[in-house]
Each structure stands twice: as structure tokens, then as C-alpha cells.
Amino acid sequence: MKIKILLYSVARSDLDRFIPLLNYLKKTQSIEFLVIASYIHYLPKFGNTHKFLKDYNLIKRRINLNFIDNPKFISEQVANEIRFISKTITKVRPNVILVLGDRYEMIAAPIAALPFKIPIVHFYGGAVTYGAIDELVRHSISKMSHLHFTAHKNYSNRLIKMGEEKWRVHTVGIISLKNLKKQKILSNTKIEKSFNLDLKLKTLLVTIHPTTLNDLNLKNDIQNVLKAIKKTNMQAIFTYPNSDHGHETIIKLISVFCKNSKKYIFLKNLSAYLYPSILKKCFAMVGNSSSGIVEAASFKMPVINIGTRQDGKIHGKNVVNSDYSYRSITRAFEKISSKSFLKSISNIKNLYEPNMTPKEIFNLIEKLIKKPNLLKKKFVD
């Protein structure tokens, strides 16, 4: 009898890190594999990213709404996600549900699944990010989950300190990193033609998301970042922020900034096909994306991590932390541009390197979901 697995993806941020597992599950005969994409995936504003799931068994749904950047709208959409997931569970009756990360929409899946007594497998819990509401969501999902696959041994230890039984917690690293380094790197010519860039110039990759617990000075903060980038005289590729409250302010400010110079481009998203090439070709990453903490180290790439959004996450020596003041950001640029700093990160290893393959992870899930006490969680003091 086939194992029926349901995966819930809320945005590109979780999808890209799930890709190796998605590909394995798709081709494995003993699995019936289905995917729910959240409403965010269907919004033109964020690039219609459901198209990246067309090769998987994506459950069809209709999304007809205009995204409104306010807390009431966001809260209502999470409620709608719970309803849709509940209907889907009733129809397909999965044996297990996979979720990843800490986006606020992600909490909809475990909430919907609880009354159905379906095991939840949570990827990448146990981390901390003190500057975002994701911190609360992540730990809430972890307590509603039955199996945990973490990115780092310290994160596994934290889950155990949170009362999780040791047999439920497994350190696997970020499984997408192995694929990232195997991807074909596109030629400079191809990238330059695609984006109208000149890769002979030093190029920055910039992603700034709203800082959900500290957004009082959002406009001024973004203006300081843009002013500091302009001072470097470097070329820059900006990518869209996520859908958190405040994203419209960020989009407007960056859009105006990019219109005033041919050295800057603003993209809704970068596909998994393009992303490794961009990381390889860019000089540094700037902003507050988790990609600066996780993926950049695989390319020995300098990172300026701005603000508190990623506070608490383990990172490599390639990451320089900065606040949102213009002075702090310019000092960070000076540091990452120095010969001594570049030499110091030339041989770094990624702290999140995977230590299990997708096949090994699935085999472990298959084994553990058969345990008779899987749904009866104990809190270990």
C-alpha cells in the first residue's frame, strides 16, 4: 500500500529548500505525493510562483483576491488556508503532512491537521530569530509536530530542551545545499543578456524583508540601505520582499531607486535554475534574508546582514552584522571589501551542509510514522 504524503508550501522561501525531497518523492513508486500551494504562490504581485510546482502533483485551487498589506487581511487569509487544507485532508486522507520553516501561513497546516490525527513532520525547527514573529510561529509549529528534521545540531538540542523526545528529533542540515552546488552555472553572457547587466562590475544581491517586530522606522531604514548601496558604486540585483506587513513600502522605495539608474534591477523572484548562477557571480549579499545566513556560505560569499530579523541564527564568518544606520552599513561594506576579510572566508565551510540524503530522510519518516506512540507526545522535563 502506498504512503500518501501531503506537502504544504507557502512561498518560494520554503519551496526551494524542499526541492531535493520533492524530486525524490515524485519518482518513488511507493509514495502517492500531493502538494498544496498557499494563496501567496498564486499572486501576480509575488511572481505567480505556483508555476514552479507544475511538475508536481499540485492540488488545484482558485485564488481570486487582491493582496492588502494590513494585519487584518493577513490574519483572514491564514483562516482561509486552514479551511482549504481541512477540505483537502478530508478528500485525500494523507498518512503524513510535511511542513517547513516558520512563515506565519505555515501554521495553518498543523492546525488543520490536528483534529484528523495526522502526523506532522516539521523541517528546520529549533532555530531562533528574535527580530520576527516567525520566532513564535516556528516554535508553535514544532510543538504541534511529531517528527523534526533540523538544520543544525544546536537546533536539535533546543527542541529537546523544549520538551521533545530525542527519538523525534534528527539533524539533517539544509538538504537543498547539495543541489545548489551541483547546478550548472550559467555564462556571464547569458546572465548579462537576460538581465541587462554588466558582470565586469562588482554586483550585489539585495533582499530586504519587513522586520515584523520592529517596523516603526521602515521607510528611513530602507532609505539608509539604498543610500549606502549607491555610495559603493556597485551594480545591484534587488529581489522582492516577502508578503509580511510593510512589504509595499519596501517595494515602492526600491522601485523608485531602480528607475533612477541602469545599474539596478528589481526582480519578483529568481528561479532555482538561476539562483546558483547569481550567487556565484555576485560579489556580496545585502539585506536580511535567511539565504544570506544559509546559502551564501556555499559560495564563499560576503554577506551584510542588516537589522534584527535573523538575530539568533547560527552563521559563518562570511556574515557581517549591521544595524540600519547609514554609518553601520557603510562600515560593513568597508569590512567585506577588505583583502583581509576576503582572505579569511576563502576556505569557509557551510555550517548547514546536509548529512542525510532525501532517500535516507524518507526511509526514516516511513519507519517512524509506524510507531504506535507517534501521536502521543510526551513533554520531557
Q: Is the pTM of this model over 0.85?
A: yes
Average pLDDT over residues 226-244: 96
Write out the three cell numbers for 331: 562600515
Write out the three cell numbers for 287: 539585506
Average pLDDT over residues 98-125: 97
CA distance 171 to 257: 42
Closest CA to 304 of 327, 332, 281: 332
Amino acid residing at 207: T
Closest CA to 2 of 31, 26, 35: 31
pLDDT of residue 282: 96
pLDDT of residue 214: 72
How many whole angstroms from its chain centre is CA 8?
A: 14
Average pLDDT over residues 129-139: 91
Please return the burial class of 333, using the count of CB atoms within 10 Å of its CB with bins 0-12, 13-18 and 19+.
Answer: buried
How many whole angstroms from its chain centre is CA 170?
A: 20
- Burial pattern 108-146, b for ≥16 Cβ within 10 A else e, equals bbbbbbeeeebbbbbbbbbbbbebbbbbebbbbbbebbb
CA distance 58 to 107: 20
Amino acid residing at 208: I
More confident residue, 263 or 194: 263
Predicted confidence (pLDDT) per residue in 272-288, tens digit: 778 999 999 999 999 99
pLDDT of residue 269: 85
CB atoms within 10 A of CB 72: 8
At 194, the pLDDT band (50, 70, 90 cuts) reads: confident
pLDDT of residue 52: 86
Q: Kindly list the structural domains of the chain, giving each domain's residue range(s) and its CATH number in brackets, ordered by start.
A: 3-175+354-368 (3.40.50.2000), 184-344 (3.40.50.2000)
Share of the chain above pLDDT 70, in %: 100
CA distance 348 to 367: 35
Going by their DSSP bridges, the two strands 319-322 and 303-306 should be labelled as parallel
pLDDT of residue 337: 98
Average pLDDT over residues 247-252: 96
pLDDT of residue 265: 96
Least confident of 44-53, 75-84, 121-130, 158-167: 44-53
Predicted confidence (pLDDT) per residue in 304-327, tens digit: 999 999 999 999 999 999 999 999
Please return the burial class of 247, using the count of CB atoms within 10 Å of its CB with bins 0-12, 13-18 and 19+.
Answer: buried
CB atoms within 10 A of CB 353: 15
At 161, the pLDDT band (50, 70, 90 cuts) reads: very high
pLDDT of residue 13: 83
Which residues neighbour 116 within 8 Å (Cβ) at sequence distance 6 or greater?
A: 89, 90
pLDDT of residue 151: 98
